[in-house]
Amino acid sequence: MSEARVIPLHPDASGGRTRWRLGKPGVAPVQPPAPEPEPEPVAAEPDPAAWEGALEAALTFARRRFEGDYAVDEFGFDADLTDNLLLPALRPLYQKWFRVETIGMHHVPDVGGALVVANHSGTLPLDGLMTAVALHDDHPAQRHLRTLGADLLFKLPGFGALARKQGSTLACNPDAERLMRSGELVGVWPEGFKGIGKPFRDRYKLQRFGRGGFVSAALRTGVPIIPCSIVGAEEIYPKIGEIKALARLFGAPYFPITPLFPHLGPLGLVPLPSKWYIEFGEPIRTDALDPADAEDPMTVFNLTDQVRETIQHTLYRLLSQRRNAFLG
């Protein structure tokens, strides 16, 4: 009878250490089966039908523009250009760069006039553009946001005309009221330049909401006020200083200094890829009040303060829930 001896087995896959078993002389050790190679991922081939559809849509759009077969309203809003050129240009920024998530979209009505009131930040007003994309792409009714802008916006060569075509108009009560009476969704940022140009150390601290002109417009038209809280815009261009001499030279409210601008030149204008959240709060109804209350300073002040406090508390809640400004 032959003596048994210890034969080392092939190293196992889990720990890499040699295991041992009893065997007989002259008997070859048992080798484990070789693992099957994983199939290489197959790259998805472009769909010819999708390319053909996109090309056909582009040619149809170009033909409409060439033939003048599109409508522009009394404020200069061009829905055809907005849907087929401006919004698609902003969409990669919205979806891939800022990765915007919307909350409470059901609070925005499908039809009829309403006033969206939001906090303002970011050194450059990208928050207004991203809110417009959100209300078109993430709302079931694909609503267009008619933003109210400062007069400086419409004085900028090229930008003013483009803003008009995208749906913006001057931030004044007559224009706002006409839009809301006609059933449009209007957006306003009451902090103005004080909000968008505040230092980074004051991020997410709301500035004054002006004199409550937006509340007066909502009271006169009886439309709901929808508080909108935007988190993420404060980090795209952290303003750590400003050059007042250059601001006066260009007629701007401020000339910002950020960690990247103007040190890196045009490259410093690329916004940092912060993670964004846009939350639409429960509407504040105004139709139960008398339109004459628009002339009552106390009513206007109380409603303005209510909207401001709602946005501020929502900002604090969203900030407490996010882990990181760039990861969400």
* 7 pLDDT above the threshold of 50: no
* Residue 247 sits in the same domain as residue 293: no
Percent of the chain at pLDDT > 70 equals 86
Query: Residue 94: CB partners within 8 Å, gap ≥ 6?
Result: 100, 130, 133, 134, 137
Which pLDDT belongs to residue 36? 66
Q: Could you tell me if 198 and 162 lie in one domain? A: yes
Percentage of the residues of the chain whose pLDDT score is greater than 90: 74
Do residues 299 and 261 both lie within one domain? no
| 310 and 170 inside one domain | yes
Is 29 within the bounds of a domain? no
Q: Residue 248: which domain range?
A: 239-270
Do 95 and 221 reside in the same domain of the chain?
yes
Q: Tell me, yes or no, whether 185 and 256 share the same domain.
A: no
Res. 18: pLDDT tops 50: no
41 in a domain, yes or no?
no
Do 101 and 185 have their domain in common?
yes
* Residues 131 and 145 sit within 8 Å (Cβ to Cβ): yes
* Residue 71: HSE in the Cβ half-sphere, 13 Å Cα cutoff: 3
Asked, for residue 19, whether it belongs to a domain, the answer is no
Is 326 among the domain residues? Answer: no
Mean pLDDT confidence for 27-37: 59
User: What was the pLDDT predicted at 45?
Assistant: 66
Q: Where is average pLDDT lowest: 18-22, 179-183, 216-220?
A: 18-22
**Average pLDDT rounded to a whole number, residues 52-67:** 88
Select from 287, 299, 135 the least CA-distant residue to 220: 287
**Biggest alpha carbon–alpha carbon distance for the chain:** 113
Q: Is residue 122 part of a domain?
A: yes
Query: Which one of 270, 291, 312 terminates a domain?
Result: 270
Rounded to whole angstroms, the Cα distance separating 80 from 218 reads 28
What is the value of pTM for the model shown? 0.83
Residue 279 pairs with which residues in a beta bridge? 103, 229
In a domain, 225, yes or no: yes
Domain count along the chain: 2
Structure tokens at 51: 């390319």
Per the domain annotation, does 310 fall within a domain?
yes
| Contacts (Cβ under 8 Å, ≥6 apart) of 312 | 206
Q: How far apart are CA 147 and CA 77, in angstroms?
A: 11
Whether the per-residue pLDDT at 240 is higher than 90: the answer is: yes
Confidence of residue 31 (pLDDT cuts 50, 70, 90): low
Rounded Cα distance, 43 and 219, in Å = 57
The answer on 245 and 98 residing in a single domain is no
Q: What is the pLDDT of residue 328?
A: 79
Q: Strand ranges (DSSP E) for 85-149?
A: 101-103, 114-118, 145-149
Q: Reduced to 3 states, what is the DSSP secondary structure of residue 69?
A: coil
Residue 170 has pLDDT above 80, yes or no: yes
Mean pLDDT across the chain, nearest whole number? 88
- CATH number where 314 lies: 3.40.1130.10
- Give the distance, in angstroms, between the CA of residue 192 and the centroid of all CA atoms in the same chain: 18
* pLDDT reported for residue 30: 55
Q: Are residues 161 and 252 in the same domain?
A: no
Q: Residue 25 has what pLDDT?
A: 47
Q: Where are any strands of DSSP class E within the chain?
A: 5-8, 20-23, 101-103, 114-118, 145-149, 169-170, 185-188, 225-231, 241-242, 256-257, 277-280
Same domain, residue pair 159 and 111 = yes
Judge if 245 and 185 occupy the same domain.
Answer: no
**Is the pLDDT reported for residue 13 higher than 50?**
no
Please, are residues 70 and 81 in contact by the beta-carbon 8 Å criterion?
A: yes
Residue 23 has pLDDT above 60, yes or no: no
Residue 311 in domain: yes
**Residue pLDDT, tens place only, 104-162:** 999 999 999 999 999 999 999 999 999 999 999 999 999 999 999 998 888 888 889 99
Closest to 291 measured CA to CA, from 225, 227, 189, 223? 223
Q: Is the pLDDT confidence value at 55 over 90? A: no
pLDDT of 250 above 80: yes
Residues 6+ positions from 328 with CB-CB distance below 8 Å: 99, 101, 275, 277, 322
Task: Identify the weakest region by mean pLDDT among 22-26, 71-75, 111-115, 240-244.
Answer: 22-26
Residues 114, 131 within the same domain = yes
Distance CA 145, CA 139 (A): 11
